[in-house]
Structures are given as C-alpha cells and as structure tokens.
C-alpha cells in the first residue's frame, strides 16, 4: 500500500518527505497545472473558431471557463499521472488558502484518480503539524473553489475586455488589471497632489538651554527649546499651510514669521532672562503590535530591510517550505495556544518574568475578509528557535529575525513611558521643549519599530530633560533663526501602498506583491530610491479609466467586489448571478465598453495634461513626447525615457522644445578640429555631440553622459574627453587585438576585441574611470575570469555546496545575462533582484528543479530567455512562450508558485461544481 502526496513546490516536498513514513511518496505540481489560455497557440483547435475562445470564458454558457495545460506543465502532469498508477491513495496537500484549494481541485480534474482522495491542510511544516494534518483530512471545499474561480474569471473579463481598448486608444501592450488599475490610480492621484502642491516658507527660533546650575554626574545637561508663541499668538508651522496655495489656511490665527522678522525677534530677546513657566509630565503606556500578517510583514520588511513586496514573499515562501515559519499568506493576527506558550517561554528565558505580559495576549482579526489562514506569520513549531539557532544567514536570517522578534514581543509586557513638556518664556516669546523618559521598556527590549537593534533604538526613544521646576531660570547657550519650507505629500513606497490598499479593502494581501511587480514591470511606475513614481503612461491610462469607467478605478467599488468574493466563499452569495450582472447587465462591463469605445477620442486619450506645463504631453509609439504650437507651426520633442511626470517642469519643457526648433546650445569648440560641441537630450537621456547634422555629416560623433552626470555640469573639457570614446588603450600582448574603454547601456567597460573570434567585456568600477583607465589596468580586469557567450566560467562567484542527489558541486557563475547556477546540462539564471551573496544551496536546488520541470536545458534556450517580457516572466500562469523561452524570473516563479497572486493564477470549478451550485 502506498500513498501519493502532492504539494506545490520541490522544497516543500523535500521537507515533508522527512516527516512521513517510507510508504508515502511526495511529489510537486510546481504550482498550477491548468489555467485559462494566454495566447492563441494554447486554444484547442475544437474551439478556435468560437468568438469567446480568445477570452477563454464562454460568457453565453454560464461563464464556462476554458482550461488548458500549458506546454511547460505537460511533463509534470504526465509524471504525476505515472506516480498515481502505483498509489492506493491520493492526498492533495496544497496550501490552505483559496489558491491552494483551487490547485487541488484542478489536480483532481486532470488526474481523475480512481483511488480514495483526501485533502490535507496545515499552516506550518513541522513533524507534529504534518502528522496531525494526516489525521484530520477533509474533502475539497467547493465554495472556496468557486470563489477563487469567480475571482479568476472576473480578472480575465476585466483584463481581456479593457486591455484591447487601451491598445487601440493609447498604446499597444498596455494592461488594465482589476486591482492593478486601482493601485496605479492611487499613485497617479498622489503625484497630481504633489504637482498641485504650492510650497510655503516660514521661520522660527531654536534655542539650546542649560540648567541654572551645572548638572550632577549622570543628569541631563543641555536641551533644545523651539519657539511656539509670540505675545500669546501661535507661531505658524508646516501644519498651518494650505498645500494648494502655499499660504496659511484661511481663518487660522497664527503668526507667520519671515526671515527678517525672525532675526529681529532673535536680536530683541538675545541675552534676556529665561524662565520656566510650566512643566507637565504625562504617563503613557504602549502595547506591542500584533504578530505579522502578509500585509504587515511586507510593510515592515520594506521599511526595515528595504525589501520589495515580491522579494519579501519569495523569502518568506522559502522559510515556510523549509519549516522555519508558518504559512505566509494570512490576514489573521491570531496565535494558537501552542504559539502563545512558545512565545511566552522565549520571553521568560531570554528577558525574565518581569518582561512577560501578566496574561497571555490574544489578538483578533478586525478585517471581515480575513480568510487566508488561521494563524499569523510566526516561527514554526511548539518551541521557537532563536534566529541564531536556525543556521540561517543573509537575508533569510534577517527576515526570520524580524518575524521572531515581532512574535515574541507580542507576548511581552507593556512599555511604560513618561512624556515631559517644558515651557519657557523670554520676554513675550514662548518656547517649548519635549522629552521622553522610558520608565520600563517592556516589549521594546525585543522589538522596536523602525530598528532591528533594540538597545540602540531604546536609547533613541529617550529624550531626557533636566530636573527643572516652574520659576527656574535656565541659561541660553545658543539661539538661532531657522528657515523651513513645507513639503509635498510623500510618494508611495511599497510599504505605504500596501498599507493603503489594505486599508481601502482593495485586493488581498497575498496579491499585493504581484500587483506592485506588475505595475513596475509594465512601465506604469518606476521604483526610485524606494518610491513608486508613476509614468506618463500611468497618467494617460488612469485618466481614460476615470473618465469612461470610473467604477473600475474606484476604491470603494473594488472593495465591494472583494466583499462579494468573500461572501461567495462562505456561501452567502451566488457566483453566477454576480458575474452575469457585472459583465452582461445593463450597466455591465461589456455594455459599457461597447458604449464608450466610440466616444473615446484616441488623440485625447494619448494626451496627458499636467499642472503648469503649457505644452501637451502625448503617448506615442516610441514613448512620451511634447507637442506645442510655435510661430513656425507645431513642434514635437521626445521626452527622455528616464524622465517622469514628477520631474517635468516648465524649464525642461522649454529646453527640449528649444533644442528641437533652434538646435542645441553650443558648449564650445573642439580644441583640435574647431567643430562645435553640443549638449543635447535624447530618448535615452543627455549626450554630447561633435558638429552639426548635415547632408555630408548625417551621423556626427556622440557620447552619452556618465550615469548621474547633470547636463548643466558638463564642461568643454569633459565633453572633449567623452568624445574620445571608445578610447583605444593599446593592443593585447597575447593576441595583438585592440583593447578599448567605452560607455555602454550598463555603464563603463573595457573590451578585448578579437573580431570574428569574439569580444571579451569587463565592467569598470569605481575608483577606475573610463576616461583615464590605462592599458595595464584594463589587462588586469580582463584577466579576471568571467563567463563569455557559449563558454563556461572556471572561477565561480560563489560556491554553494554539493547537490544532495548527484554529489556534483553547485556554484554561482557570472554569465552573459547575469549570475546563474549549473547542474549537469541545466543552467538556471538568478532572478534580477537576487543577491549572489545571499544565494544559498537550497535556493539553487529550487531554481534548478523549476528549470528542469519546465523542460529547460542549455544551448539556445538560455540565449532566448532574457528576451521574454517581464510581464510574461512574472507568472507561470501567463505562459505565452515555449519552454525554450523560459526566463530566469519565470524559473523562479515556477519554483515558488504559491507566492504569486491569486488574481493571476487561480481558478475554477468545472461544470460539475457549477451544476451543484445551480
């Protein structure tokens, strides 16, 4: 007798095998095995002629979905079928959320087992949890499957109905996802607020005071005081300004000081006596935050570890599958009795009983839609391993450390603090000093918001004021006038966008990582220094949807859709009537698109209107461009690709238009040729050009500016040097071929050019300079090993260890398209955001398993891989390419299928389930 257990990933399979008897065979489905067709190639011949075939949903037949097995999953399905032949029992052990339920249902439909079937769920992968789950198996929950199928169909209807409209009216290749479009609108609305923002300025005074008597050893000395009133009138600060006018909010009675007034006040009160007029101490109690949910983990990891949402979920998925943490897709803050006991034990052992909360803390989930799992994210097991006991390193260690601290802190005592406010008066000017004293740190000993170093953060929490009383006369050690400017609303970071989406009830936390990734990958936003900055395309798409389909980008409407999907999962709502009303009703999506399409002027849709910009910004085939009327007629000028609406100001607009109409501004004359040198801005940014474009000189010599160089800072000498690129440094002593230095798309480099034999490149890193690097230094760089096209690198970037099955040593190599791992004839590229330093043997095994499952090998497959678009590589559910075009990111996704969004992967109840519902 043997039992086949099917999970999603190879890592999860390997971990679970350790906890089951030898009669159990554990295999991985590599995530979803079926999905709606993503290309015409995947549509079966039998239905290709149907009008609904491309949509993948037969809206005339009760929204019957068309499910297909992608090419790269057929091998996996065959292997699972073969494994089932030898089994006497099948256990479907996919994740316990909606998507996991859906995967189990799809496996059931494809495998058609004739043996007994069980559904096994667990929220952590430990021996105890797996053995317990085996004794509490259940059937597949069809209501949950229906809810997931409805979500998948709904997303397909929105995406495949609106996206073609965007292609016609704005630009080819755009997408309009149900939740994605709302998220993009949030970014655009914030950017509009920033552009409409008017800066205000104000001045105040800051003093450094000392006690009237020298403080005793260990007592506080100097402290700061800030001006707050003059003649009992409040002095204006940033909160008193109207963001739309830059002036004081109408009706607010405050004193706005300019620089002259502030300095005059300073002179008036200089050297005058100070007196303490009031002292107030206010006790404050702080309670610990609940344990992590998916959303709060993504937020904290972004704030503290600077991890993106996708990277956070990838690492958390790996920690879960290896048995370090509980399931990482959850809306719940609840802790089991076992977890509470484990956390309290950690507190008792590591911090002492005084730091333990008097009673166990039990957290309840406020969100009505919380349904993903039964517990918060916490360390796995009935006892919690400290971060040091796990053997983890790098970013895996840091994320586990964050989860461990948050969980343990949730069972610790309150922190007790005293907030102190001290008011002083000099003449008629009132100053305020604020202090904070920590009377008992409580949970802050383990977990402090904004820092991973409790001791350092604990010190930062305290601001100790001297022991003064009313009537005391402190001394003024320093007094200065300080100018301030109000700041526009902050842009969204990944953390703040996740927080906003959750607070508005838009989407599900388990989908946020994929949504943010899609927004960036498809050019709706740029991620710059942790801020999400919307592009011109985002402005155009948002304006069209706001104008013609306002409900679809309204947070309230989208939130209500989520509630309905939750109600379908609980049986409170019926899925078929809801879909029918949403798509085919009188005000349904299909009807709206038919009515609105003819009313949408493509030229208007492609035009972006920005505050304070006289020229039009238009979306063209090759990107955004400016269009303005001049005396000589309409003028068009390309907008550099790295310039966002946030950066476009009237001065830049005039520069770009002037460059187009009057030609570039001359920087000077070349000292040798006498030709003029110009600084211009093109589609790919600023560059210098030698000479003008003429009939005889159609392609004058050009050179891009080094990254980070402002066009206004370019000197004639720098331009002359840049125009020497590529610089011939000399000949290689071994081959006699030329060695050059140049600037490329990815920065400065040296190249050993052997003609037909090939070119060998090395990047130039600081402190080396492309304009001054010598031949000897270039030869040193070229002597360093690097994988060249079609060759193998002999020196690895990192040694990982032996493969558990073959014993072959696995290493990370540097290839033409970036770092990769190799095993046998399989090469698998690391994800773009994967750090070589933090890459582990376990990650390599997952990556190689995913590549092998997808039919990946060497040769031309890897060469084609990077040409697959980011949108296609993000999720294995959108398989528009063959296995020969599998991308590095796609390989990663195939190994970690459960981290991708339910909205993109999920799926269905078949006809049988539909009939049961009806």
The residues annotated as belonging to the active site are 327
Q: Which helix (H) or strand (E) holds 511?
A: helix 509-521
Quote the CA–CA distance of 588 and 195 in Å, as a whole number. 35
Quote the CA–CA distance of 120 and 821 in Å, as a whole number. 34
End-to-end CA distance of the chain: 39
Q: Answer yes or no: are the C-beta atoms of 464 and 437 closer than 8 Å.
A: yes
Q: Answer yes or no: are the C-beta atoms of 464 and 438 closer than 8 Å.
A: no
Question: 581 is written with which tokens?
Answer: 């009303």
Q: Which of 862, 695, 898, 912 is nearest to 102 (CA)?
A: 898
Q: Residue 13, SS3? A: helix
Bridge partner residues of 479 (DSSP): 207
Q: Answer yes or no: are the C-beta atoms of 497 and 490 closer than 8 Å.
A: no
Q: Answer yes or no: are the C-beta atoms of 402 and 291 closer than 8 Å.
A: no
| Sequence-distant (≥ 6) Cβ neighbours of residue 278 within 8 angstroms | 421, 422, 423, 470
Quote the CA–CA distance of 772 and 721 in Å, as a whole number. 9
Quote the CA–CA distance of 193 and 612 in Å, as a whole number. 13
Q: Which of 394, 383, 375 is nearest to 324 (CA)?
A: 383
Q: Residue 223, SS3? A: strand
The residue with tokens 């257990």 is 5
Question: 78 is written with which tokens?
Answer: 């065959």
The residue with tokens 């071929």 is 737
Helices (H) and strands (E) in the chain, counts: 28, 31
Quote the CA–CA distance of 658 and 392 in Å, as a whole number. 58
Quote the CA–CA distance of 636 and 630 in Å, as a whole number. 10
Question: 631 is written with which tokens?
Answer: 């005396």
Quote the CA–CA distance of 665 and 678 in Å, as a whole number. 6
């Amino acid at each position: 007798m043997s039992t086949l257990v099917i999970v999603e990933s190879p890592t999860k399979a390997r971990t679970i095998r350790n906890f089951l008897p030898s009669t159990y065979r554990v295999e991985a489905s590599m995530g979803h095995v079926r999905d709606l067709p993503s290309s015409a190639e995947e549509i079966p011949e039998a239905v290709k002629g149907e009008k609904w075939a491309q949509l993948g949903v037969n809206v005339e037949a009760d929204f019957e979905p068309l499910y297909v097995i992608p090419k790269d999953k057929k091998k996996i399905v065959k292997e699972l079928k073969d494994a089932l032949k030898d089994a006497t029992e099948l256990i479907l052990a996919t994740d316990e959320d909606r998507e996991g339920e859906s995967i189990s249902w799809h496996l059931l439909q494809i495998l058609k087992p004739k043996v007994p079937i069980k559904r096994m769920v667990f929220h952590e992968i430990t021996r105890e949890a797996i053995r317990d789950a085996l004794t509490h198996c259940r059937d597949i929950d069809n209501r949950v499957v229906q809810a997931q199928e409805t979500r998948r169909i709904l997303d397909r209807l929105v995406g495949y109905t609106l996206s073609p409209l965007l292609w016609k009216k704005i630009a080819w290749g755009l997408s309009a996802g149900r939740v994605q479009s709302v998220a993009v609108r949030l970014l655009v609305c914030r950017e509009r607020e920033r552009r409409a923002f008017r800066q205000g300025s104000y001045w105040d005074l800051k003093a450094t005071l000392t006690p009237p008597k020298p403080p005793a050893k260990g007592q506080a000395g100097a402290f700061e005081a800030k001006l707050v009133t003059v003649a009992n009138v409040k002095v204006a600060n940033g909160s008193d300004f109207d963001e739309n006018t830059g002036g004081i909010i109408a009706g607010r009675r405050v004193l706005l000081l300019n620089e002259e007034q502030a300095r005059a006040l300073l002179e008036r009160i200089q050297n005058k006596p100070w007196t303490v007029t009031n002292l107030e101490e206010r006790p404050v109690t702080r309670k610990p935050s609940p344990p992590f949910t998916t959303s709060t983990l993504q937020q904290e990891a972004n704030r503290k570890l600077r991890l993106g949402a996708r990277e956070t979920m990838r690492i958390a998925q790996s920690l879960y599958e290896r048995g370090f943490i509980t399931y990482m897709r959850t809306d719940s803050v609840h802790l089991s009795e076992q977890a509470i006991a484990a956390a309290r034990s950690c507190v008792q052992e590591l911090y002492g009983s005084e730091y333990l909360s008097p009673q166990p803390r039990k957290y309840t989930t406020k969100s009505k839609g919380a349904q993903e799992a039964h517990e918060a994210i916490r360390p796995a097991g009935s006892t919690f391993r400290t971060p040091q006991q796990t053997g983890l390193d790098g970013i895996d260690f840091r994320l586990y450390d964050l989860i461990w601290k948050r969980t343990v802190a949730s069972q610790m005592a309150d922190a007790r603090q005293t907030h102190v406010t001290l008011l002083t008066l000099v003449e008629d000017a009132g100053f305020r000093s604020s202090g904070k004293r920590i009377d008992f740190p409580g949970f802050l000993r383990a977990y402090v918001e904004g820092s991973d170093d409790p001791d350092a953060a604990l010190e930062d929490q305290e601001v100790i004021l001297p022991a003064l009383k009313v009537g005391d006369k402190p001394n003024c050690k320093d007094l200065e006038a300080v100018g301030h400017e109000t700041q526009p609303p902050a842009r969204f970071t990944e953390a703040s966008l996740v927080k906003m989406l959750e607070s508005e009830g838009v989407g599900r936390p388990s989908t946020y990582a994929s949504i943010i990734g899609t927004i960036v990958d498809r050019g709706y936003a740029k991620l710059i220094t942790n801020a999400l900055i919307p592009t011109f395309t985002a402005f155009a798409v948002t304006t069209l949807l706001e104008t013609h389909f306002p409900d679809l980008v309204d947070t309230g409407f989208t939130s209500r859709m989520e509630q309905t999907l939750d109600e379908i999962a609980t049986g409170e709502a019926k899925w078929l009537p809801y879909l029918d009303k949403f798509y085919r009703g009188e005000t349904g999506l299909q009807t709206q698109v038919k009515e609105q399409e003819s009313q949408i002027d493509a030229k208007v849709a492609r035009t972006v209107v920005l505050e304070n910009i006289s020229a039009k910004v238009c979306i063209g085939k090759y990107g955004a461009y400016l269009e303005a009327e001049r005396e000589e007629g309409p003028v068009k000028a390309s907008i550099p690709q790295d310039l966002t609406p946030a950066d476009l100001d009237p001065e830049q607009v005039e520069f770009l238009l002037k460059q187009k109409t009057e030609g570039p501004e001359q920087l000077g004359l070349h000292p040798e040729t006498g030709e003029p040198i110009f600084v211009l801005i093109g589609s790919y940014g600023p560059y210098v050009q030698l000479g003008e474009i003429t009939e005889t000189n159609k392609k004058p010599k050009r050179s891009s500016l080094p990254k980070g160089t402002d066009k206004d800072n370019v000197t004639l000498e720098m331009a002359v040097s840049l125009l020497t690129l590529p610089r011939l440094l000399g000949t290689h002593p071994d081959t006699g071929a030329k060695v050059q230095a140049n600037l490329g798309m990815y920065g400065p480099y040296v190249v050993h050019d052997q003609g037909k034999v090939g070119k060998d490149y090395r990047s130039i890193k600081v402190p080396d300079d492309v304009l001054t690097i010598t031949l000897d230094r270039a030869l040193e760089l070229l002597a360093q090993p690097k994988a060249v096209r079609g060759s193998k690198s002999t020196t690895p970037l990192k040694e990982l260890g032996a493969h558990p099955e073959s014993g072959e040593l696995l290493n990370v190599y540097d290839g033409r398209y970036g770092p990769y791992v190799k095993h046998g004839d399989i090469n698998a590229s690391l994800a773009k955001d994967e750090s070589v330093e933090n890459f582990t043997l376990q990650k390599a095994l997952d990556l190689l398993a995913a590549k092998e499952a997808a039919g990946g090998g060497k040769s031309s497959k890897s060469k084609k891989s990077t040409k697959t678009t980011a949108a296609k590589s993000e999720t294995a559910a959108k398989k528009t390419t063959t296995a020969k075009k599998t991308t590095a990111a796609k390989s990663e996704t195939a190994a970690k299928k459960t981290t991708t969004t339910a909205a993109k992967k999920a799926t269905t109840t078949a006809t049988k389930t539909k009939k049961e519902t009806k």
